[in-house]
Amino acid sequence: MTDKTFPLNTGQRIPALGLGMSRRLIRLQSGYKLVDGAYCYANEDEVGAGLKEAFDAGVKREGRVCVTKVWNTYNTRSLKALGLDYHWPILMNPEAPDGSRDIIRTHNHVKLVATGKTKAIGVCNYSKRYLEQLLAEATIVPAVNQIENHPGICERNLSSAAGDCRPVQGEGIHIMAYKPVVKIAEKHGVSPSTVLLSYHISRGSTVLPKSVTPERIKQNMVLIDLDAEDQKLLQNYSDQLTKEGKLQRFVYPPFNVDFGFPDKS
């Protein structure tokens, strides 16, 4: 299941499972084909050194997806720090260093893609409100939108008309997710974390777990196929939290800005 990929609106495919890089630790040798980082983690030089070690050890650059999240003006800086010839894809944060909204319409990304230094561009922490603003102006539709998503904070405003918490398909924007489960875990004889990671993939979203523990990084690659009963149980849990106004968000960027998500606006 860790070899599963999803199609992007660019015609390319992105791995269903990736490794969130909050530190230098690189485990491409363990089988991960997608790593995700960010300029604001202040570790791109270290991550770049880790990537170089992996490639020098024989890991092929081809087929490996390196995602970073930067402000639009910092693309070249991040590329150099990571020691890469290109990103794949690059995610633009919606908040500029000067405090203004920094959405794609203010930058010429046609030229950026044409340079070959990024295979695709996407966005991060975009609510429905800002996606609508962006799509009205953007020359290039984002390939991905990286958000917090899990049974406790099912983003209905970014879901299909069916209201089942699946990603929006109308514009082909793929969801990348960063962060009764015990009952399902016991049923399958796996850990609760395995259930949560598998939950995203069963919904068609790429998931990016973070860990600095080698054994856990390896364990996160063990995924299962959730059946219809499992998915219904998790959906009912999300529905109940929504009804009671008890959504549980664990990761929210400390940028002091309204990202437009209903539970935070």
Q: Give the active site residues.
A: 41
The C-alpha atoms of residue 257 and residue 265 are separated, in whole angstroms, by: 10
Closest CA relative to residue 213, chosen from 23, 10, 11, 14: 23
Q: What is the DSSP letter of 166?
A: P
DSSP string covering 187-254? HHTS-HHHHHHHHHHHTT-EE--B---HHHHHHTT------HHHHHHHHHHHHHHHHHT---------
- DSSP lists the bridge partners of residue 206 as 176
- The 3-state secondary structure of 67-94 reads EEEECHHHHHHHHHHHCCCCECCEEECC
Report residue 66 as tokens: 């390196």
User: What does the angle CA 72 – CA 171 – CA 155 come to, to the nearest 5 degrees?
Assistant: 80
Report residue 100 as tokens: 């203004």
The C-alpha atoms of residue 116 and residue 149 are separated, in whole angstroms, by: 31
